[in-house]
């Protein structure tokens, strides 16, 4: 049976508000973009709304327990409701910050609590978010890719590629969140992507264990220590690093590394984990080496990590701001971009980004009220007329 036609094929740009709660568990990023799902014509304001300490702690506990949880678990539902309300606040505050932007759609990633081959699990109540904001919400971006045989991650590559189209190829975008991932645009314009290994997650957890601070601020701890090269090599012997792209992993995939560096002091452990993170990125198996690397995500704020990357990577390393990007808002912008692609029936993933057998769209739409956006789709929406059915 042929695929259903797109719900909405934009005849122009939409204003999309993207939301991202990453594996670093630091809070909700929200950003506005104007896009048709192919190119981006405007970048709007953005903000980050930090999670209160109790929500962050509850999410950390869920990550540890996720493989054994069921969707009706009381602690899970409580955490899901709490994080959804933080997303509601982020939407409300960004709309107040940007009153001239009429939001057409929200792209809501939710919080990943488990990601394994054949299984991905994001929590977040899209119906609550839609009802509280009076906006249509596209969500559940990953499950269609997994159901079709892909790994469900990374999903940011198509957005990276849209932003990189005017750079000389080969070129790479490197996103360092809790997990690090890269997008390579090859000489002939093909897109290849993968998770590379740990990003900030191990460093954040190590810093929290030893200092009570949720990250190694400015790389201060790592810069006071000395990396153990033999231990770095042992960590790099993990089978994941010998797999070609595309490939993906979970925030907890390398959690055992914390125990392996456990005998080191706080500073030497941070230095070793920083070297491990940098080397895992540099040793990613790629068909071509990029001329330029543009780094986004929270990891670019860590001078120790950036120095290690500059030494390890071929080509020239730049922060995302070198291109005028907002490196802290990029993933949130991405899910606004993907929300519009979802509405238009465009692919969110490719065989070379997630391993899915063929280009795959995805996402689900939740709209809890009759909005002006809905009336644009269905002129009879203000009456009792149903929307027109999709034809097969």
Residue 149 annotated as part of some ligand binding site = no
Distance of alpha carbon 210 from alpha carbon 74, whole angstroms: 31
- CA-closest candidate to residue 191, choices 273, 250, 125, 246: 246
Distance of alpha carbon 296 from alpha carbon 329, whole angstroms: 9
Q: What is the DSSP string of 164-205?
A: HTTSPSSEEEEEESSEEEEEEE-TTS-EEEEEEEESSHHHHH
Residue 29 annotated as part of some ligand binding site = yes
What sections of the chain are H helices per DSSP?
A: 53-65, 74-97, 126-133, 143-147, 157-164, 201-211, 220-223, 229-235, 256-260, 266-282, 303-312, 330-343, 351-354, 372-377
Residue 26 annotated as part of some ligand binding site = yes
Q: Is 240 helix (H, G, I), strand (E, B) or coil?
A: helix
Residue 295 annotated as part of some ligand binding site = no
> Using an 8 Å Cβ cutoff, are 15 and 37 in contact?
no
- CA-closest candidate to residue 332, choices 9, 6, 41, 45: 45
Output the known binding site for ATP: 22-29
Give the annotated binding-site residues. 22-29
């Amino acid at each position: 049976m042929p695929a259903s036609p797109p719900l909405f094929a934009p005849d122009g740009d939409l204003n999309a508000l993207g939301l991202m709660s990453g594996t670093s568990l630091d809070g909700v990023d929200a950003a506005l973009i104007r896009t048709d799902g192919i190119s981006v014509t405007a970048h709007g304001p953005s903000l980050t709304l930090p999670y209160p300490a109790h929500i962050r702690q509850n999410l950390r506990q869920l990550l540890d327990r996720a493989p054994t949880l069921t969707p009706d678990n009381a602690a899970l539902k409580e955490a899901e409701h709490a994080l959804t309300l933080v997303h509601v606040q982020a939407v409300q505050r960004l709309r107040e910050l940007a009153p001239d932007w009429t939001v057409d759609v929200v792209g809501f990633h939710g919080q990943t609590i488990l990601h394994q081959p054949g299984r991905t699990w994001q929590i977040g109540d899209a119906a609550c978010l839609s009802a509280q904001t009076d906006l249509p919400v596209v969500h559940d971006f990953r499950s269609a890719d997994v159901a079709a045989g892909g790994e469900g991650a990374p999903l940011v590559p198509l957005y990276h590629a849209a932003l990189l189209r005017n750079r000389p190829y080969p070129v790479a975008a490197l996103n360092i969140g809790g997990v690090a991932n890269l997008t390579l645009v090859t000489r002939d314009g093909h897109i290849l992507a993968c998770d590379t290994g740990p990003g900030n997650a191990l460093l954040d957890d190590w810093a929290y264990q030893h200092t009570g601070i949720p990250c190694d601020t400015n790389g201060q701890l790592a810069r006071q220590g000395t990396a153990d090269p033999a231990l770095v090599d042992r960590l790099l012997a993990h089978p994941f690093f010998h797999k070609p792209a595309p490939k993906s992993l979970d925030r907890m995939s390398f959690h055992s590394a914390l125990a392996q560096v456990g005998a080191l002091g706080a500073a030497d452990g941070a230095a070793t984990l920083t070297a491990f993170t940098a080397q895992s990125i540099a040793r990613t198996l790629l068909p071509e080496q990029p001329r330029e690397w543009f780094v986004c995500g929270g990891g670019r704020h860590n001078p120790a990590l950036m120095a290690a990357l500059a030494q390890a990577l071929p080509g020239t390393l730049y922060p995302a701001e070198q291109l005028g990007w907002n490196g802290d808002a990029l993933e949130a912008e991405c899910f606004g971009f993907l929300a519009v692609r979802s509405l238009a029936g465009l692919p969110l993933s490719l065989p070379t980004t997630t391993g899915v057998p063929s280009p795959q769209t995805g996402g689900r739409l939740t709209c809890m009220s009759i909005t002006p956006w809905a009336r644009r789709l269905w002129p009879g929406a203000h009456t009792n007329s149903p929307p027109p059915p999709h034809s097969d």
